[in-house]
Copies of this chain bind each other. A is one copy, B any other.
């Protein structure tokens, strides 16, 4: 227990792994200002915004797609993040299911958006970041063996302060 006053030390960024389970394709975007690689849509949480809401909002803003939150696939902690003015960064990858399919990309932010086969990304040897590769392998495992193998599930528990809070952990079912 620290006796120092508490303070905000981390920004929270969220990405959406939007998976079409029928075609086994994932929605990838190309950023207008950082063209290097295809990546997952996403961005920073607004104050007071839940992780899963950030994921769905950013996908909607960037690509026009409405989605449904399914699970958390992974999260990363990184220190001295250059985009975070020296503070630390927590980056969460959410698995989302698309509810609409008509891509309408935000021209101010995106150069392009398209569906790509998850298996193609997972099998690629270059052109994708280690995180993109890892997430694609994880989702491919989910598609083949069931998402109960890969998901970090969400649950809501009563809080002493607020009404409830969201807790993420492996499912308790046997």
Name the segment of A96-104, A113-121, A157-165 touching the other chain: A157-165
Q: Return chain B residues, CB-CB under 8 Å to A174.
A: 141, 145
- The contact string, 1 if C-beta is below 8 Å from chain B, for chain A 152-174, is 10010111111001111110101
Q: Return chain B residues, CB-CB under 8 Å to A141.
A: 172, 174
Q: Return chain B residues, CB-CB under 8 Å to A51.
A: 77
Judge whether A170 and B138 touch: CB under 8 Å: yes
Asked, given contacts A6-B44, A58-B1, A83-B6, whether A170 binds B157 with beta carbons under 8 Å apart, the answer is no
| A130–B164 alpha-carbon span in the complex (Å) | 11
Size category of the A interface is 35 or more
Q: 10 smallest A-B Cβ distances: which pairs?
A: A74-B169, A8-B8, A8-B87, A78-B165, A130-B157, A10-B10, A2-B43, A1-B43, A48-B79, A2-B44
Given contacts A7-B87, A8-B10, A9-B12, 8 further A-B contacts (CB under 8 A): A1-B58, A2-B43, A7-B85, A75-B75, A75-B167, A78-B161, A130-B158, A134-B172
